[in-house]
Amino acid sequence: MRLEAIRQALAALAVTEEVEVVKIIPAPKPAEGEEAAKPTEVREKVSQTMLFTPDYKKKGFHLDIKVLSAELPAAAQVLIDQGFFLEAITGVDWPKERQIEVVYDFSHWAELCRVVIRTRTDRDQPEVPTISHIYSGANWHERETHDFFGVKFSGHPDLSPFLLPDDADYHPLRKDFKA
């Protein structure tokens, strides 16, 4: 199975994050005649590897991995060696967390296997390394993401405005952009 192979190959690149989990501890059985105590909620920080295999029918993809931005070229290299092609690159703005998420969609010709690679970068100075030297098609997708979100792709040959006018100094898909 290609999914299992690619999951193992990419597992080392996935980040481990502290995730807050709410645990509900049921109250101990009350002694006779006493009122039952309420269950207590405990918020715990659990470290979790950010690699998920979601239900394809519900989500539309098979593998969802979060990596450090520095690991993106390594992840892209693994995917192209396995024969994956790049569907698209895009961003998502998360102003509350002061972060911009960059999402990479990959798919495969021979077997149905959709892989999503995501990374987060600082919203004030967004910068991630380019993968355009691995996937030539990434060149345009990265230029578009730079236009819309202001993400700088370090090592990209030409980040001049692409779909926006030549003098554009705004990034329209950021949540605080108002036309």
Partner 1 sequence: MNAPVTDRHPAVLDRTAETFVLNLGPQHPATHGVLRVKLTMDGEYIVHAEPVLGYIHRMHEKMAENRTWAQFMPNMGRLDYLAALSYNHGYAMAAERAEGIEVPERAEYIRCITVELNRIASHLLWFGAFVLDLGGFTPLLYAFDDREQILDLLESVTGARLTFCYFRFGGVYNDIDDNFITGARAFIKRLRSRMPMYHDLVTKNIILIKRLKDIGPISQEMCRRYGATGPVLRGSGVSFDVRKHEPYSVYPEFDFDIPVYHECDSMARYMVRMDEMEQSMRIIEQGLDKLPDGPVMAAKAPKILKPAKGDYYAAVEAARGSFGIRVVSDGTNTPYRLKLRSPTFSNLSLFSEACQGMILPDALALMGTLDLVIPEIDR
Which chain residues interact with partner 1 by CB under 8 A? 57-61, 64, 80, 83, 85-88, 90, 92-93, 103, 105, 107, 109, 112, 114, 116, 135-137, 139-140, 148, 161-165, 172-173, 177, 179
- Toward partner 1, which CB reaches closer, 35 or 166? 166
H/E run at residue 128: strand 127-129
- Toward partner 1, which CB reaches closer, 26 or 95? 95
Q: Is 42 helix (H, G, I), strand (E, B) or coil?
A: strand
Kindly tell me the sign of the dihedral angle through the C-alpha atoms of 143, 131, 115, 15. negative
Distance between CA atoms of 81 and 43, rounded to whole angstroms?
Answer: 42
- Toward partner 1, which CB reaches closer, 30 or 161? 161
Strands 115-122 and 99-108: antiparallel
- Toward partner 1, which CB reaches closer, 25 or 74? 74
Kindly tell me the sign of the dihedral angle through the C-alpha atoms of 157, 68, 74, 134. negative
Q: Residue 81 CB, nearest distance to partner 1 (Å)? A: 11
What are the two backbone dihedrals, phi and then psi, of residue 94, each rounded to the nearest 5 degrees? -125, 80
- Toward partner 1, which CB reaches closer, 33 or 165? 165
Q: Residue 82 CB, nearest distance to partner 1 (Å)? A: 11
Count the neighbouring beta carbons within 10 Å of the beta carbon of residue 162: 18
Q: Residue 116 CB, nearest distance to partner 1 (Å)? A: 7
Q: Residue 85 CB, nearest distance to partner 1 (Å)? A: 5
Q: Residue 71 CB, nearest distance to partner 1 (Å)? A: 20
Distance between CA atoms of 109 and 114, rounded to whole angstroms?
Answer: 10
